[in-house]
Amino acid sequence: MVWLRLVHIVAGIVWVGSAVFGALFLFPTARAAGAEGGRFIERLMRRVGPAMGIAMLLTVIPGFIMYGRLSAGFNRAWVTSRPGLALGAGAVAAILAVLVGAAVNAPAGAKMAVLRKSFEAQGGVPTATQAAQLQTLQSRVERGAQVVAALLLIAAGTMAVARYL
């Protein structure tokens, strides 16, 4: 159980910290930098995306296992206790963050990469339509990142205080 907890907490720190840094600083700065910022984010996400996926899995899977063990097999009395409810709420927030990342950010990021490749193949300058599409997708990713960061802060906060309730 100690190793599960260690992996869960360290991976969670990486996941939450990266999400908050991206939402508060990285994406807004890249947006302000214009086209070059967009290219930077695309290159960065090729490396960071898989690492974030691994951090997410190393957070969620051990967390689920620990919740099951701590609750004695999801015992209703424990699950509905204050600590159980707090940990459960944190788990729901983390799972929602996964869903937002998978349903919003990943597809938008993939569309941005395809769009960028298409206009770079045409000489590197996007048409007005392509630029508008790119801006829409960048805004979607940025909003998605903000939602993910907020959900992960809720998850981390509820889990941090659960044992004291």
- pTM (2 decimals)? 0.91
**pLDDT for the residue 160:** 95
For residue 43, the one-letter residue type is R
**pLDDT for the residue 115:** 86
Comparing C-alpha atoms, which of 131, 123, 112, 122 is closest to residue 27? 112
User: Using CA of residue 139, residue 140, residue 145, residue 150, what is the dihedral sign?
Assistant: positive
The count of domains in the chain is 1
Give 10-residue mean pLDDT values along the chain (165 residues): 95 97 94 85 86 95 95 94 96 97 90 84 81 88 95 97 94
Domain range for 47: 2-164
Q: How far apart, in whole angstroms, are the C-alpha atoms of residue 158 and residue 161?
A: 5
Q: How far apart, in whole angstroms, are the C-alpha atoms of residue 102 and residue 91?
A: 16
159 vs 88, 98, 143, CA distance in Å? 9, 17, 24
**pLDDT for the residue 119:** 80
**pLDDT for the residue 35:** 78
